[in-house]
Homo-oligomer: A and B are copies of this chain.
Amino acid sequence: MSRANTRVVMRRHPNGMVTEADFAIEHGTAPEPAEGQALVQVKYLSLDPYMRPMMDPVRSYVPHLNPGQLMPGATIAEVVETRDPGLPVGTTVACALGWQEYGLVSAADVRIVDPEAGPISAALSVLGMPGVTAHYGLLELTEPKAGETVVVTAASGAVGSVVGQLAKLKGARVVGIAGGPEKCAYVVGELGFDSCIDYRSATFEEQLAEATPDYVDVLFENVGGPIFDAVLGRVNDHARVALCGNISQYNADEPYGLKGVRQLLMHRVTVHAFVIADHRGYWPRALPELSGWLADGSIRYREDVASGLVDAPKAFIGMLTGLNFGKQLVEVSAD
């Protein structure tokens, strides 16, 4: 049985702001599984900021994409044909098939997801890469102590929302930064941050100063640009920065020039840039904790789900400009 397989590829390297014209939709046929493989149908695709820098032809931690290549990404998928006894038909798996409807996997490539344990899409957010990123970056790299002030940028996002909730669990005072009053209300009201500041507000810097009367001990930085500088203007001696993302700059024609080097030096700040892909061994440490906190209600999350791969480029661009509200997913095939 031959199945139609829609795929989204990078048509060309973006020039500054990524546009829908930088992508192409391709219609092909799903491959046949070889011995030891299973054909899976993708249910959910995760859209994440890291995909944007991969589209630029620069030296980085993974080879960059070339025109015509499939857009990468984490996925939740279901086995529909199998020649791998470890993956019976109907099994739900977390895997990395990218922006396509069907793909081949082996048992070694996947993490099996228990659909009884909760929404399967959580394996792409709080129980997936964003959750493990938050756990590692905050708890391993910055080690917030009770009573310290932690600032989290992109606070309503997939990573930031978990970071802030973990920091609250550790007893820190947590200040979020997000775009717009709706997101800020969610960050305080639903996620339990102590406060949240709208970076679009004309009085952003004043509000930041008010929200950090004891200055800032930890910054979990997802955004970069002038927001990064604003927080560096408030750092305490020996502050720690987990540098996780730079989303404000991914589509910039010219990179923002960070003025706060003096602040780093004057306050003897340590900056830990990291990507969770370097720390595969950490997942088994983080996931049981995150699952427990999710189950007991200590961690909440929110999803923003686009429908169908054809809309993935638009949803991706929306995420990069802050239009999403919660973890951006694409429902690739409905149940």
Contacts and interface: CB of A to CB of B under 8 A. Distances in A.
Interface of A: 53, 58-61, 224, 228, 237-238, 243-246, 249, 254-262, 264-275, 278
A237 B61 contact: yes
A260 B245 CA distance: 13
Contacts of A270: 270-273
Give the number of times this chain occurs in the complex, counting copies: 2
Nearest to A225: B261
Contacts of A269: 271, 273
5 contacts: A53-B262, A245-B265, A246-B261, A257-B258, A258-B259
A254 B259 CA distance: 9
A142 B278 CA distance: 19
A237 B274 CA distance: 10
Nearest to A215: B59
A227 B267 CA distance: 22
A266 B224 contact: no
A202 to B, nearest CB: 22
Most B CB contacts (10 A, CB to CB) among A228, A254, A261 go to A261
A261 B265 contact: no
A243 to B, nearest CB: 6
Contacts of A265: 243-246, 273, 275
A249 B273 contact: no
Contacts of A60: 266-267
Contacts of A260: 255
Nearest to A237: B61
Nearest to A239: B273
A259 B262 contact: no
A264 B238 CA distance: 19
Given A254-B259, A255-B261, 8 more contacts: A53-B262, A58-B266, A244-B265, A249-B261, A265-B275, A267-B273, A269-B273, A271-B271
Contacts of A273: 264-265, 267-271
